[in-house]
Structure 1
């Protein structure tokens, strides 16, 4: 009877599991021939940037309040309707009913998270702490490998899958952006400089043509007439040399960016139906019966031993 009651009244929990490989090995061999030129251009071709993620620190990033809060405030489409994950969590766990006893009215999480009031921040903090302690598991199945496993358990099957997918996406995007932030900034600066030099080169070429058009049949005895076009030609040559070096540095910087970008390859992603811990009624009755048999035997043996002790004492 207790086994049957357990099967009927204990709510089913669903577990969404995502595993992926993180490859962040440094491949510097191909860049060795460019290291001298890169250093002159102020470009770092080493594994700089994202040092905070060395070791297992990235695992803690999954449990950080920043990532959990960002995931909860993500808007998704559920049954054709847009809904934030935090609202789905509140609804599925019937938190509104609990808040009525604490005299907390309806709370929404629209607007800028940086300007949430005390109640909104308090609710988000409370939910993230519960998710960390009871729902979320992050680790490596084998410490020798680079495989990371993220498992999230919840009573709401839809919420479990959507939350896991969004959390993995948010953390991996943040990881890649931080890891490549310095290299991406170098590429952006060099691209802007190259575009500026190219515009000046185009203006210089136009200036040479304008100078020649201004004096199409210049008197060879009057060399002063050739000075404007010759000045523009010097500018063209200088800008051409500068632009050529800029393009080289830009390409080296792009190679560095590609080398520093980690590879994230998914192995398994959560799909419906999710694994659940539901215990069938038949299995619950059988387990309950076995436990009842074991405890009954133990009880009878203990009773028989007690009677033997009493008889000996008399």
Structure 2
């Protein structure tokens, strides 16, 4: 029992000594740092001056942000029509949704090479024939400053066929794509639980930032509609052509039926009524076919409307855009504390080195 008490007393004594040593050692370090306060102050002032200088010479950056929402499939306004159509044996879908515009797919889709390149090659009208966003990006970023003369002559003129680009144009376009997606473009959900998507672009060119985010979303929607509803559109065009042809035939049959009917026909000559009967029968057949085609046409239009993504733009960028630049005061304060901290680290390292070598 006494041995246990002795061990406990020794443990408490060693802990007290350890705590005392820590306090004394901390006091030594604080005194050592105070001896170098002038140097730390000087380092902070120099770093603050550097920060102010950098802030002054840095170019302004403009942030354009566009926010849109994807409508939930459960709130599809066509659900009542789909229910009505199902009663007549037509399946217009409406089950679990999947595709480019569902879940997190839209985030990756908006940053895909296909959509970004389509946006970069889109034309901005300026009254002088226009220019592409790709040329605009090369111009304000001066990314061609180190290129040779042959490369500087390469441009992405409006209306150029993307499939006709050579390997050099492909390489330049890829450089722009990588730079934008890695450093400037950000696509994300504003809240993981919501369907609000935010598209954010930060560049040194105010016009480019604004037009890019708007065109990016437009190109994504346009591409999705053209691919998703392509089959439905072909079907609609075919039915529309059939409906137009049948309508023309129906009009002709109607006029023919009216022509062959004779209100003064002698009842004794019943054979003369055969022509009117045949004309009336043809008219009824064509009319039945026409009504069926028109019904299928309208249902196909409903199907295509269902497949088309319903996107509501909530906020669009407007001029003047938000500027992203650290002000001189903020840059000076950050520089001061950073400079003082770095010198403190240097002083600590120097002190530790002296103790080791002593």
Same structural fold, with TM-score higher than 0.5 when normalized by the shorter chain:
yes
Contact 2:221 2:309 in 1 (8 A): no
Match of 2:184 in 1: 135
Residues 94 and 292 (structure 1), Cα distance of their counterparts in 2 relative to 1, 3 Å cut: closer
1:262 aligns with 2:309: yes
TM-score using structure 2 length: 0.75
1:194 to 232, 243, 246: 243
Match of 2:18 in 1: none
1:72 aligns with 2:123: no
Unaligned segments of structure 1, at least 5 residues: none
Contact 1:24 1:262 in 2 (8 A): no
Match of 1:293 in 2: 340
Tell me, in whole angstroms, the C-alpha distance in 1 between the residues paired with 2:96 and 2:173. Answer: 30
Tell me, in whole angstroms, the C-alpha distance in 2 between the residues paired with 1:60 and 1:300. Answer: 48
1:4 aligns with 2:4: no
Residues 210 and 162 (structure 1), Cα distance of their counterparts in 2 relative to 1, 3 Å cut: same
1:99 to 141, 147, 151: 147
Tell me, in whole angstroms, the C-alpha distance in 1 between the residues paired with 2:97 and 2:162. Answer: 25
Residues 172 and 36 (structure 1), Cα distance of their counterparts in 2 relative to 1, 3 Å cut: same
2:276 to 229, 250, 261: 229
Shift of 1:233: 0.3
Match of 2:93 in 1: 46
Shift of 1:79: 8.2
Of the structure 1 ranges 252-261 and 127-136, higher mean CA displacement relative to structure 2 is found in 252-261
Contact 1:201 1:240 in 2 (8 A): yes
For 1:25-46, what per-residue CA distance to the aligned partner results, in whole angstroms no more than 9, with x for missing partners? 154354223215353xxxx400
Tell me, in whole angstroms, the C-alpha distance in 2 between the residues paired with 1:24 and 1:86. Answer: 35
Superposed CA RMSD in Å reads 2.8
Tell me, in whole angstroms, the C-alpha distance in 1 between the residues paired with 2:235 and 2:267. Answer: 49
1:61 aligns with 2:109: yes
1:241 aligns with 2:288: yes
TM-score using structure 1 length: 0.84
2:88 to 25, 33, 37: 37
Contact 1:49 1:180 in 2 (8 A): no
Unaligned segments of structure 2, at least 5 residues: 1-48
SS at match of 2:125: strand
Tell me, in whole angstroms, the C-alpha distance in 1 between the residues paired with 2:355 and 2:144. Answer: 60
Tell me, in whole angstroms, the C-alpha distance in 1 between the residues paired with 2:60 and 2:195. Answer: 32
For 1:111-164, what per-residue CA distance to the aligned partner results, in whole angstroms no more than 9, with x for missing partners? 322222222222212211221222211121222211111111212222111111
Contact 1:21 1:266 in 2 (8 A): yes
Shift of 1:8: 2.7
Tell me, in whole angstroms, the C-alpha distance in 1 between the residues paired with 2:123 and 2:300. Answer: 36
Q: Work out the number of aligned pairs and report it.
A: 304
SS at match of 1:52: coil
Of the structure 1 ranges 84-93 and 181-190, higher mean CA displacement relative to structure 2 is found in 181-190
